[in-house]
Amino acid sequence: MGSGARLVPSLDLVHRVIAVDTAYTLARMRVLERIPGNPVGISYWSMDDVTALMARNLPSLAFNRVVGLRRGQAHHIEPLVNWYRQQDAAVSFEIAAGDHEPAIGQELARLGFFQSAFHAALIREPDVDIAVPHDIPVERVTTDQAMDAFLSAYVLGWGIPEHAREQFKRNVRPWIDEPGWSLYLARAEGRPAATAILYVRDGVGYLADAAADPAHRRRGLHVALLRRRIRDASAAGVEFVCSGAYHLSTSHRNMERAGMRPLFLRAIWTQT
C-alpha cells in the first residue's frame, strides 16, 4: 500500500490491529515465561479469536486482560472470569467498537465488571519519507552497551521501582534478540532519555512501549521516536502502521501529531 493510499476503516482492519497487539504482548510474556520456574506466573488461553492473558504475580494491566471478544461470544466470559478468580488474578476485558453487542455488556455487568476507560487504536499509511527531527538523536539498539542505556532509560520512563530495576533488566534483556522487534533509544543532552519498540508482523508495523524519563519529558522525544519507527516500518514494506493509547492522553495526541488517526476505541471493563 503506497503512501498515497488511504486506509478505509473496517472490521478487518480492527481485527488486524487487535491481532498484532496481542501477538506482541504474547511475545513479551513468553520472554518472562522462559525464566526458570515461571516465577511471574505466565498463562494464556485462546479460542475463537479470543485470547486471555495472565501474569499471576505481576499486576500489569497489559498482561492480565481478555481481548478479541466478538458478537455471539458472550458465553466465553463467565468461564474466563472463573479461570482468573481460581488463580487469584485480576482481569480486565477489552471490547472493541464494532465487536460490541448488548449481551457482552450485560454479561460483564452481571459478573461484577464496569466500563472504566477507553483506549484508542490509531493507524496511518506507510511513509518512507516522513520527516524525522534532526535535533533529537534516535538510535537502533543493536549492542550490549546500547541495551544497557536503553534499559536505564526504560525503567525510569515506566516508573519501575528502584528495588525491582536490576531484576527487571535481567528479565527483559532477551528483547534485543526477539524476532520482529527493533528497539530504539533517544538521547537528550547526550544521555539516555526515552525508549520505544517497533514490532513488525504479518505486514503490520506496531509502535509499542514508548516512554521517556520524567526529567526529559515535553521535549519532543515521543514524537521523534514515533516518526523514526514509522519511517523504518515503512521501509520494511508494511501495509500500515498502528499503535494505541488511552483516549485523549498525551500519547494519543502525539500520535496524531505524527500523522496517525483513530481507527476504533476499546472499552475497558474492570472488576468492581
Q: What is the pLDDT of residues 17-27, one digit of tens each?
A: 999 999 999 99
State the pLDDT confidence band at 5, using cuts at 50, 70 and 90: low
Number of domains, the chain: 2
Q: What is the pTM of this model?
A: 0.95
**Residue 221: Cβ-neighbour burial (10 angstroms; 0-12, 13-18, 19+):** buried
Please, what is the average pLDDT of the chain?
95
Is residue 184 pLDDT above 80, yes or no? yes
Assigned domain for 268 exists: no
Q: Give the integer Cα–Cα distance in Å for 153 and 155.
A: 6
- The fraction of the chain above a pLDDT of 90, given in percent, is 94
Q: What is the mean pLDDT of residues 62-91?
A: 97
Q: How far is CA 183 from CA 10, 120, 195, in A?
A: 30, 23, 8
pLDDT band at 6 (very low <50, low <70, confident <90, very high): confident
Instruction: Find, among 18, 245, 209, 242, the residue nearest to 126 by Cα.
Output: 242
Same domain, 227 and 145: yes
What percent of the chain clears pLDDT 70, i.e. is strictly above it? 98
Claim to verify: residue 84 and residue 16 sit in the same structural domain:
yes
244-265 average pLDDT score: 95
Cβ pair 210, 195 in contact under 8 A: yes
Residue 127 located in a structural domain: no
Tell me, yes or no, whether 263 lies in a domain.
Answer: no
Same domain for 222 and 160? yes
Spatial CA neighbour of 262 closest among 150, 52, 118: 118
How confident is the model over 212-236, as a mean pLDDT? 95
Name which of 123, 187, 203, 16 is nearest 195 in CA terms. Answer: 187
Q: If pLDDT is split at 50, 70 and 90, which confidence band does 4 have? A: very low
Cell 516522513, residue located: 130
Mean pLDDT of 215-241: 95
Residues 194 and 94 grouped into a single domain: no
Q: Are residues 110 and 149 in the same domain?
A: no
Angle at 210 between CA 121 and CA 31, to 5 degrees: 95
- Strand-strand pairing, 113-124 and 240-246: antiparallel
Question: How confident is the model over 168-184, as a mean pLDDT?
Answer: 97
Domain that holds residue 184: 138-238
- The pLDDT score that the predictor gives to residue 218 is 87
122 close to 242: Cβ distance less than 8 angstroms: yes
| Domain membership flag for residue 245 | no
Asked if residue 224 is part of any domain, the answer here is: yes
Q: Tell me, yes or no, whether 264 lies in a domain.
A: no
Each residue's pLDDT tens digit, 194-207: 999 999 999 999 99
243 neighbors 208 (Cβ within 8 angstroms) = yes
The bridge status of strand 138-140 relative to strand 113-124 is unpaired
- Is it the case that residue 259 has pLDDT exceeding 70? yes
144-157 helix and 165-172 helix, angle to the nearest 10 degrees: 130
Average pLDDT over residues 75-94: 97
Paired sense of beta strands 261-271 and 240-246, if any:
unpaired
Task: Identify whether residues 142 and 231 lie together within a single domain.
Answer: yes
pLDDT value at 2 more than 50? no
